[in-house]
Structures are given as C-alpha cells and as structure tokens.
Amino acid sequence: MVYIREVHPVGPRQSKGNRKRKVQITQPKTFEERVAVARTCMRELKLSIPAVVDGMDDKVSKEYAGFPDRLYIVDKEGKVAFKGERGPRGFKPLQMEKPLKELLGES
C-alpha cells in the first residue's frame, strides 16, 4: 500500500463518515506529518499489509493516478501486471484474484 495525500482532510472534503466518527485529520504539511497520519490510518483500520508513504511532491499518486484510491499489482520485474479502475467506485479488490493467481502460477 502507498499512503498518498489525505483524501478527506478537515474542511469541505471531509467525509460525512469522518465527521460522524469525529475523525479530524488536517492535510499534512511535512513528510513527517504524513507518515504520522499514515501510521494512524494503518492502526485504526487494522491494516497488516506493508505500506510506504508517498513524498510531499505526490509523485507516486500522480504517476499511478492513485487519488483517491486505486489497486495495482506490480510484478517482480517492476512491471504493472494489473491496473484497477479509479476509486472509490472502481475499488474492487476481488478483480485482483485472477491476475494474482496467474502471477503466482496458480490455476
């Protein structure tokens, strides 16, 4: 997982769900702040997958059109083996099953 720019910071883009749960995240202004928010996200969502944090230049998000979310599978050679549609409506993890099995040599 790559944690990118905060999608629902405090303000007009804050989601109704975050307001209801009183989740108050301001858009990080430094890389260290972004890392702290990413750690909170991982902990609160109970995510156990490896994660890295996009730089403040948002290079990964821009290169992979990852805003607000998107699923990719990158093979051992660094080539894109699967590219999902843009989220949130295109966020469909089950579509990754077949390409993952093919990549792993499973039928």
pLDDT tens per residue, range 4-32 = 999 888 888 888 888 888 888 999 999 99
Residue 72 · residue 64 · CB < 8 Å = yes
Residue type, 4: I
Q: In which band, very low, low, confident or very high, does the pLDDT at 2 lie, cut at 50, 70 and 90? A: very high
Please report the pLDDT score of residue 22 as a whole number: 84
For 50, phi then psi, to 5°, come to -60, 145
Mean pLDDT of 55-78: 91
CA distance 2 to 69: 10
Query: Torsion angle of alpha carbons 27, 30, 33, 34, nearest 10°?
Result: 70
